[in-house]
A and B are shown apart, each in its own frame.
Chain A
Amino acid sequence: MAGLRGEERGVSDVIAIAFMLLIAIFAGVLLHAYRLDAVTSAADRQLQLKAEYVYRTLELSQVENYSLSYFEAVAENMIGLGETVVPENYLVEKIDNALSYLTPPNCSTVVELTKDNQSWIQTFPSQPASTATQFTFSGAVTIIIAEAGENRVAQVNARVTIFR
């Protein structure tokens, strides 16, 4: 009887040790996972910053051979003034060149300008997967149209999204 109790105790001790081992392994994994995302989060913040900078660059940089910025030229094309300053085909090519120059490595950039039911969308290098992580910056482009009598203000919504 006493021998049997000793055997039972031996088994329970082994089970207790096995559980402690499991707990140690589990604790090890948890401890190593703590704040593991800090570097990824910092890289994500950089991409968010870059989305804003791509937006500002397209808002402020002038189209080659013209004095209008990329966004101003697109807005002018969308509003449909009598004679646009930057021809549409030329503008598409120049925005594509700018996006190929500005898009961060291993990312896609989508530029979208909308006004009422019209939209101007350009993507570089290709249409991103719907599951990709998105970093968006948006704003509005305002242009003043000189008309007989009084000037008119027109606004186009602009959005830049970087997909990783």
Chain B
Amino acid sequence: MYSLLLLNGGIGARAGAGQPKQLVKVNGLPILVYSLVAADAVDEITQIILNYPDGWRQQIEAIVSAYAIRTPVVYVRAGATRHESVRAMLDAATEDDVVIHETARPLVTSADFSTLVASEHRNVSLMLEIPFTVAPVDPATQRVTGYLERSTLRNVQLPQKFSTADLRDAHAFAEREDRLFTEDATLVAVAGHDVRFVPGSDRNIKVTTPTDIKLATYLLTGGDEE
């Protein structure tokens, strides 16, 4: 069985000067609802660990309650860094395996979670082929420094699943070595554990800008099915 670590930034920019920050909504629903409902339908996920930005716990709890999420939810305050957040959530995990997801990807499906759970491997990430060329550069001099073979590169997506022990070990490794990673699949691999990938979907976009919200709404309301 799995604990879901659900990273929940979820707070957008101020709507205007003097206005309070708002929970990000997609098609009128708080963005975290999509991931919660998709995960709640997966029997193998028996615990949801949801982090909340400081000061937002009450609002987040109210949403979880209103949507009658059946899986037990544990609330953990977000850390100053992603590493800190994941480590705090790991401390609350009771299962031997975890799934990591972020609420900023509202197009995740229950099937995405089930695909990971069904994999025979212990550490697995959804990943996508890269349809464009990425160049290594030196930003300081604006010099192109070489070539990257894109067939051996992947766009890292969430959700991912890990053995809880491997992920804890990898975070201890990062702390010890004082290294920062932007996501956990590469962290766990660099820490010396076997990590595999399965193909993701280009619909599973990360929503960070107002344009992303429009695109996500278009996809969620079947705009691409016409």
Q: Do A and B come from one complex?
A: no
A interface residues, Cβ below 8 angstroms from B = none
Enumerate chain B interface residues (CB-CB to A < 8 A): none
